[in-house]
Every structure is written in C-alpha cells, then in structure tokens.
Amino acid sequence: MEIKGNSRIAGIGAFLPPDRVTSESLMDEIDSTRFGAPKNYISKCIGIKERRISDARTLPSDMAIAASHNALEDAGLEAGEIDMILYCGIDRDWQEPATAHRVQTELGATRATVLDVTNACHGFMNGLAIADSFISNGAVDNVLVCTGEKPSRVMLEAIEQIKRTNNKEEFKRWIGSLTVGDAGGAMVVQRGTAHSGWQWMEMRSEGQHAELCYYRHTQAGVEGQMIMGLISRVFVGLHKKLIDKTYRALNWSPTDIDVMYCHQVGAIPHKQLTSAADLDLNCAPITYDFLGNLTSASIPVNMALNRPKRGDKLLVLGAGSGLSICQAGMIY
C-alpha cells in the first residue's frame, strides 16, 4: 500500500516507568548458564543493557495517557480540541471495549471519536497512516495517536516457564521475550503544509511469517515463541528490497536524510537497517540499549527522546511481527 501523505506531526510525547531492570539480573533469575548462555548474553550480544518495567497496578492506558498529555502540551492543544483518538498498543486494558475509550475519558477529549488499532510492533505506524487518511478526506483536524505497552507481563510469564524447564529449544523460543520494556508513546497529527508532513509512505505485509513471533494465553500459561534472529533477518531483508523505491518516490538520496528512526530490537538489526538505508549510525538514534524493545512505542519514544528539528528530513522504518513493515519520509 502506497500513501502520499497529507499530515504532519504537531506534537510528540513519551512516558517511561521509573523502575529499571538489568538484562543480567533477568539472565541470573533464569540461571541462563544451564542453557549455555552467559549472563551477559543479552547485554553483550543483543546490546540491551536494561529496560523499564511498570508496576503491577499500571494499565497500558495509564502509560498512553501520560504520553498523550505530553504530546498535547508539545502541540499546544487542549484535549477538547482532539477529534479522534487511535490507541495502537499490543497491550490493552480489556478485550472489550476499546482501550481508547479510557484514554478519551481520562484526557477529557469529549469531542473525539475513538478506536483501537493493533498490529504488533507495527501498530503505531498503522495508526499514523489511518490518521493521515481521515485528515486527508477532511473528516478531522486533530488526531491523537497513542500507545501504552506492557510487554513485561508476558516477559514475567516466560521467565517462570523458562525456570521450570531444562529444554534448550524452549529457552531459545522465549529468550526474545526478555528483551522487551514498558513505555507509552503518543503523537498529535494535523494537516500537513507545503513545507512539512509525510511525503511518502509504503506498507507491506507478509503473513507467512506470523508464527515466528506470537503468543496466546492458555489454561497452562502463555504459549508461543519469539525467534528474534529469524524475525530480524526477514524484516531487514524486506527493508533492503524496498529502500531504493522509497528514495525514488521521495526524490531524496541518503545525503538528504537528517535523522532515521526505526523499530529497535537490538544492535545488529539496527546497524543492518542503517546500512540498508546507506546512512551513518550517527543519524540513527538508539533507545534499545537502556529501554529494550518497546514494541509499538519504539518509534514515538525514540522521536520524543531524540527530537528532530523543524525542517529536518526524516526516514522512518517500521516493523512488526506477522510480518509487516513500512518505509516513510517526512519533512518535520
């Protein structure tokens, strides 16, 4: 799917829980040496030293709401000016109704139409595309796209399962779940101008890879796997195939890019994505080292912590299990 953008990012916000958990403490808890994995494996080989973990009482919407307050302040808007709220997290407060309803209520966004959008780690980028569509047809002026991710819930369940097994293959299936971190992210989206906004966005999905990363809850506990090595190879390969087309569509070259923001799962995929775009690592800020894989919050949190300047040309590379990717260019 190809999109000629009509919207811009007017405000960005993030929320990070205060509690830090190191990778080595997690590996120590599961006694990773039983499986031949040193306790510094995640920090040394994947590049994730620590992550933030929210407490048991914190709901996904709590983190989305906190990030949304920051995004609204950044955009200079009141909640009552928001026409639409798209909640894009994997993690939700309930199966029903949409978590976006609680975000609306707590913000006081009484005018807003709300709904949830979910597509694994790619959900936030889908939300931005949907916001662009509603803005382009004139239905809305101000859209809040937000997420609150609490993957630590699955991580803690996976830790308990790993502790009960001596099966190395089961350890390999779940090690990826120890790389995640909790966070909230939000953006306010408005109509673009001649000098700012999305210039091009393309999204692709290849569902044959869905079972490389999945989980579901059963009576026996969490079931699934997170084979990050294979997932990363697939989404990096798809980005390599698409990048030349993206540059042509934007009429940009790598030297035009001021900042690249990409989904972050670790050091090696980050370097590979930066190389695929023919960019220097200095223009591709990282968050994975001290925040881990933030799932759908990865890109908004990165942009909030490593803010672009107005007028910067941004390249955005999204990815999520299933498998879905996107490439997009924006003048910020």
* Confidence (pLDDT) at 217: 82
Q: Which residues contact 273 (CB under 8 A, 6 or more apart)?
A: 236, 239, 260, 262, 284, 317
- Map out the domains of the chain as residue ranges: 7-189, 195-331
- Tell me the percentage of the chain whose pLDDT exceeds 90: 94
Same fold, 7-189 and 195-331: yes
pLDDT tens per residue, range 71-130: 999 999 999 999 999 999 999 999 999 999 999 999 999 999 999 999 999 999 999 999
Task: Say if pTM beats, i.e. exceeds, 0.85.
Answer: yes
pLDDT band at 41 (very low <50, low <70, confident <90, very high): very high
- The three-state secondary structure class of 19 is strand
Give the pairing type, strands 143-149 and 84-87: parallel
- Please report, for residues 4, 248, 259, the alpha-carbon distance to residue 194 in angstroms, rounded to integers and kept in the order given: 13, 19, 20
**Spatial separation of the C-alpha atoms in residues 239 and 122, rounded to whole Å:** 14
Q: What is the DSSP letter of 200?
A: E
- Asked whether the predicted pLDDT for residue 43 surpasses 80, the reply is yes
Instruction: Summarize the confidence of residues 164-185 as an average pLDDT.
Output: 95
* CATH 3.30.1360.70 describes domain 195-331: no
Q: How many CB atoms lie within 10 A of CB 253?
A: 10
pLDDT band at 305 (very low <50, low <70, confident <90, very high): very high
* CATH 3.40.50.2000 describes domain 7-189: no
Instruction: Answer for the pair 276, 243: CB distance below 8 angstroms, yes or no.
Output: yes
Judged by average pLDDT, the poorest of 99-103, 170-174, 235-239, 261-265 is 170-174
- Asked whether the predicted pLDDT for residue 11 surpasses 80, the reply is yes
- Phi, psi torsion values for 150, nearest 5 degrees: -130, 60
